Amino acid sequence: MLFPRHTIQTVVSAATLLAGASIASAQNAIDLSLVGPAGTVSVGETIDVKLRATRVAKKSFVGTSFVGIDCILGWNPKHLTLLGRSTTGSVPLMASYFPTPNVDTTGINELAVPADGDALYYAIANFGSPVQVSAAGVQVTTFRFKVNTTFSSSTIDILPTLTVLQAADTLVYDGTVPGLDVLGALHAAVITQAPACPGDINADGQVSADDLSMLLSNWGNSGSGDIDGSGVVDASDLASLLGYWGSCGGT
């Protein structure tokens, strides 16, 4: 087995992979990061969230490459729907997939493309060719989501551990020492959404007394309520808010 905690069939023996697992923790580490769209998104839009691996360089011969990754995702299914993956721009891999429910003994993946807000993903390097990870990072895969509803921000996390039927962990298997976990830090992607209309300061889908209260509480300052982007909340912003009063788009 390539991944001792799971039942993924490979031609590599578990004994070979675990031979060096007792070695002390790697002095190099490989961080995993989710990178979402640079700007704001809108309802109905399909967005790409890239999984990147980045080496945190220290003094060691391990932690500079990987042969496999177990990655557990977590997101708000009311906000976002996972549509699948894309390999465009990613490093070559032997396998890159969500294990289907019949082989996922952890119980995390309830569907072939999970929809309940958590998912287990596997990346497996080509035999004999560990993926070299630089300080600039490499793209492992791209997760594709659809934006379902209005929100101000929503986070897609990499979960360090999750238990459904049995415990599972996010892991990065070293490309030099078989079985050694060289996982470093985990970084989430924050997806932000522009308000459906300028006066909807709290992004709840309507311009109401709540938005007016936020604007007035910040009167004379910058930030929340500065609808026209002038750098100060003033009468111009108040007029704009009142012009959009009601459901987004105005009445």
Reported as a pLDDT band with limits 50, 70 and 90, residue 122 is: very high
Output phi, psi for 157, to 5 deg: -105, 155
Say what percent of the chain tops pLDDT 70. Answer: 86
Q: Tokens 């996972």 map to which residue? A: 82
The pLDDT of residue 12: 34
d(CA 122, CA 14): 17
Q: Is the pLDDT of residue 25 over 60?
A: no
How high is the pLDDT of residue 247? 75
**DSSP per residue, 122-175:** EEEPPTT-PEE--SS-EEEEEEEEEE-S--SEEEEEEESEEESSSEEE-EEEES
CB 112 within 8 A of CB 100: yes
Going along the chain from its start, the domains and CATH numbers come out as: 14-192 (2.60.40.680), 206-247 (no CATH)
Q: What is the mean pLDDT of residues 100-125?
A: 98
**What is the per-residue pLDDT for 87?**
95
- Determine the Cα–Cα distance for residues 191 and 186; give it in Å rounded to an integer: 16
| For residue 206, pLDDT beyond 90 | no
The CA angle 143-33-184, to the nearest 5 degrees, is 135
Residue in this structure with the two tokens 């493309």, named with its chain if needed: 113
Q: What is the pLDDT of residue 6?
A: 41
Quick one: pLDDT band at residue 26, thresholds 50, 70, 90?
A: very low
Q: Which regions of 13-116 does DSSP assign to beta strands (E)?
A: 29-35, 46-56, 65-74, 80-86, 95-97
In the predicted structure, residue 3 carries a pLDDT above the cut 50: no
Place of tokens 């459904």: 164
pLDDT one-digit tens code per residue, 49-103: 999 999 997 767 789 999 999 999 999 999 999 999 999 999 999 999 999 999 9
Place of tokens 């309802």: 43
* Claim: this prediction has a pTM higher than 0.75: no
Q: Which residues of 117-126 are buried (b: 16+ CB within 10 A; e: fewer)?
A: ebbbbbbbbe
Q: Which of 146, 158, 170, 168 is nearest to 74 (CA)?
A: 158
* Distance of alpha carbon 78 from alpha carbon 95, whole angstroms: 30
pLDDT of the residue at 186? 98
Average of pLDDT values for 10-38?
Answer: 60
Residues 6+ apart with CB under 8 A from 96: 85, 87, 90, 121, 122, 123, 124, 140, 141
Choose between 248 and 224: higher pLDDT. 224
| Per-residue pLDDT at 23 exceeds 60 | no
Average pLDDT over the chain, rounded to an integer: 87
Average pLDDT over residues 124-152: 95
| Amino acid code (one letter) for 215 | L
